[in-house]
């Protein structure tokens, strides 16, 4: 494609050479550049693409897009713009034929609930007969085809390629998690959303955003760029989003007054039943995923779908069709001859841990045993908070390692323990041994909650990443404990 067409409706200045040339592909990683490619200098969290201009030119880049002054211009076509991140999103859309305009986009943002909500909406839309794409933490999907996901929301160039693949496959709707990082870093810049859902806002990612105000403002970006906002009014930031958001607004709640209301909740170990009322019509829904917070996720999903004109009876069918979401309050003891349950959950924030433990407390008959830790190289202020929550809400807790990355595991654990006021815990650094200890401890009617990793099938250590799937670990330990009897 001609560079002029790639830069359609983008303000830019030619610093050297010409903009009238053919481009093979767009790249933001200089190591991937080949002859005829366009290299865009992206300022990342840890590095800056401007440092790799010479490398890109040596690899055959036909043109460079930059936002900084370059002291020594390389022998290459140089284009300057104000913001390379915004430009990459728009240029990638132009390059791939503006694929997001060929489907409706539904975005979900919030600290917790994004993943579950995307799966719920996908199930509802499929029940209504649509082909659905999904972008998220666990995986990306084109219909039933599962694709690997490296991050919650891909970099804009990769996202636009994914949109193109979806459009080429006849996808009607794309449901996507929109992380605060992606919003702040303009990965979705220029994408028009049909619906945007606000789930909640609690402490997370302050290692990146620095202040809670910055975190909130990053989330708010989604609601400045949408036709319709679906807002959780039970969350303390719901009213603020409602005030600050643009476009049409639809609210949902259990406790407060809202357009979509849930009542008569009946929670049990394998799910939750509730009545939902919208425009004077009430439906009884039997959700296969436990927890009050999953009722909230369902209400937000309902809001987006009724806004798209889907009948509430079809909405009910779609929600009840969804049997589980990987790593989200996932019961992993089906098929085992155990008299206790094990639940794996992605909860890695104070609010997420509080939600899963409170959910289990609502239906537990025996003891609640929690296994959890905190990730390394992430916001360390939440560690003592999670220590207190984990021990306050469980009968017994095992503090362990969770993706320590470059930090020492015991250093992280000591910070977690610093917030604990009770004595109902022990420390077992090795995560597998911690899970085994919890299972050996469990008795009839107990519930073991393994929190923090959920769907992840790896453990990130200081010098390597190892395979670690907690479903597989549980299966292995079941066999070990049987042989030890």
Question: Which residues are known binding-site members for meso-2,6-diaminopimelate?
Answer: 378, 402-405, 452, 456
The closest of 358, 351, 374, 362 to 199, measured between CA atoms, is 351
Joined tokens for residue 185: 């870093």
Q: Which residues are annotated as a binding site?
A: 30, 110-116, 152-153, 179, 187, 378, 402-405, 452, 456
* Helix, strand and coil in the chain, % to nearest 5: 35, 25, 40
Q: Which residues are annotated as a binding site for ATP?
A: 110-116
Round to whole Å and give the CA distance between 233 and 219: 16
User: The tokens 């401890």 sit on which residue?
Assistant: 441
For residues 110-139, b (16+ Cβ closer than 10 Å) or e, as one string? bbbbbbbbbbbbbbbbbbbebbbbbbbbbe
* H or E element in which residue 447 lies: strand 447-451
Instruction: Please name every residue paired with 230 in a beta bridge, in sequence order, or none if there are none.
Output: 197, 250
The closest of 14, 46, 49, 19 to 33, measured between CA atoms, is 49
Q: How far is CA 380 from CA 187, 350, 416, 434, in A?
A: 26, 12, 9, 22
Round to whole Å and give the CA distance between 290 and 271: 4
Instruction: Please name every residue paired with 321 in a beta bridge, in sequence order, or none if there are none.
Output: none
């Amino acid at each position: 494609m001609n560079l002029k067409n790639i830069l359609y409706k983008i303000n830019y200045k030619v610093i050297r050479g010409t903009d009238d040339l053919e481009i093979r592909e767009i790249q933001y990683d200089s190591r991937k550049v080949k002859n005829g490619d366009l290299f865009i200098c992206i300022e990342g969290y840890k590095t800056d693409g401007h440092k790799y201009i010479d490398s890109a030119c040596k690899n055959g880049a036909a043109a460079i897009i930059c936002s900084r002054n370059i002291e020594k211009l390389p022998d290459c076509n140089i284009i300057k713009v104000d913001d390379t991140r915004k430009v990459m999103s728009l240029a990638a859309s132009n390059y791939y034929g503006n694929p997001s305009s060929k489907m409706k986009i539904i975005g979900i943002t919030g600290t917790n609930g994004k993943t579950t909500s995307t799966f719920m909406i996908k199930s509802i839309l499929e029940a209504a007969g649509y082909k659905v794409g999904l972008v998220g933490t666990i995986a990306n999907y084109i219909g039933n085809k599962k694709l690997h996901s490296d991050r919650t929301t891909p970099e804009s160039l990769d996202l636009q390629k994914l949109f193109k693949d979806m459009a080429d496959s006849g996808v009607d709707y794309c449901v996507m998690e929109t992380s605060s990082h992606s919003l702040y870093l303009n990965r979705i810049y220029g994408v028009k959303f049909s619906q945007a859902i606000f789930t909640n806002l609690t402490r997370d990612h302050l290692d990146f955003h620095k202040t809670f105000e910055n975190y909130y403002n990053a989330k708010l970006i989604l609601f400045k760029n949408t036709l319709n906002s679906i807002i959780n009014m039970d969350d303390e930031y719901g009213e603020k989003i409602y005030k600050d958001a643009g476009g049409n607004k639809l609210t949902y709640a259990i406790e407060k007054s809202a357009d979509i209301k849930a009542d008569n909740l009946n929670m049990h170990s394998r799910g939750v039943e509730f009545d939902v009322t919208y425009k004077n019509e009430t439906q009884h829904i039997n959700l296969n995923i436990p927890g009050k917070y999953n009722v909230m996720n369902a209400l937000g999903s309902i809001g987006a779908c009724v806004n798209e004109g889907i009948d509430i009876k079809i909405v009910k069918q779609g929600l009840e069709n969804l049997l589980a979401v990987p790593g989200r309050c996932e019961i992993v003891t089906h098929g085992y001859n155990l008299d206790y349950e094990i639940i794996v959950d992605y909860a890695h924030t104070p609010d997420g841990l509080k939600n899963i433990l409170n959910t289990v407390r609502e239906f537990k008959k025996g003891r609640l045993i929690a296994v959890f830790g905190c990730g390394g190289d992430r916001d360390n202020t939440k560690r003592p908070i999670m220590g207190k929550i984990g021990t306050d809400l469980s009968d017994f807790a095992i503090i362990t390692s969770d993706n320590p990355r470059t930090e020492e595991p015991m250093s992280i654990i000591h910070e977690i323990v610093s917030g604990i006021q009770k004595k109902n815990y022990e420390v077992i650094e090795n995560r597998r041994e911690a899970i085994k200890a919890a299972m050996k401890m469990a008795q009839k009617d107990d519930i073991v909650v393994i929190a923090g990793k959920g769907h992840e099938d790896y453990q990130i250590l200081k010098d390597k990443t190892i395979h670690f799937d907690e479903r597989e670990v549980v299966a292995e330990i079941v066999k070990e404990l049987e042989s030890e009897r």
